[in-house]
Amino acid sequence: MKCLLILLTSLAASKACSCIFPGTPKDAFCAADFVSHLKVISKQDPTGCPGASFNVKYTVRHIKVFRKSSKVKQLSTVLETSTSSCGLMLTVGREYLIAGNIGEDGALSGHQCATNMNWADVQQQERDLLSTYKC
C-alpha cells in the first residue's frame, strides 16, 4: 500500500504543470494576447472524461476587455483550454480575470501559467492598474 501511495504521488508530481512566470504583473499583462474580465456562460467537454487531454470549450461573455491583440477586431466568446494539468478549470456562472493567447483563427486559449483569477479575488488596486498598463 505504501509503495502504491508513493508511486501515485510521484506520478501526480510528474504530471504537474510547470510554469515560468514573466516577472511583474505588468510583464504578464503585456505577454498576453488578451486580458479580460469575463463570465463563464457554459462549458462543453468533448470527452466527458476527466483527465483526457482534449480541449474543453467555455462560452464566455466579456464584461471588460483590458488588452486585445491587434490580430482580431473583437474577442471570440469561446475560450478553449486543455483538460491536462495546465488547463483551466472554470465554473459556469462565475466571473474571472483571464489572460491568454489568440490563435491564428482568432480562437482564445487559456492555461494555468497565465493570469486566471476569480474576479472576486482581484483587489481593487489591481483592477485599477489593469486600465493603466501600456505595453
Per the DSSP assignment, residues forming a β-bridge with 81 are 56
Q: How far apart are CA 112 and CA 7, in angstroms?
A: 25
Contact assessment for residue 102 and residue 34, using Cβ atoms and an 8 Å cutoff: yes
pLDDT band of 17, cuts 50, 70, 90: confident
pLDDT tens digits along 100-129 = 999 988 989 988 777 889 999 999 999 999
pLDDT band of 14, cuts 50, 70, 90: very low
Residue 49, marked binder:
no
Scored b (16 or more CB within 10 A) or e, 59-98 reads ebebeeebbbeeebeebbeebbbbbeebbbebeeeebbbb
Grid cell at residue 73: 477586431
Average pLDDT over residues 56-73: 94
Burial of 104 (0-12, 13-18, 19+ CB in 10 A): exposed
Query: By C-alpha distance, which of 63, 64, 100 is closest to 82?
Result: 100
Contact assessment for residue 99 and residue 4, using Cβ atoms and an 8 Å cutoff: no
CB atoms within 10 A of CB 51: 9
Per the DSSP assignment, residues forming a β-bridge with 101 are 109
CATH of domain 23-130: 2.40.50.120
* pTM for the predicted model, two decimal places: 0.79
DSSP, res 71: T
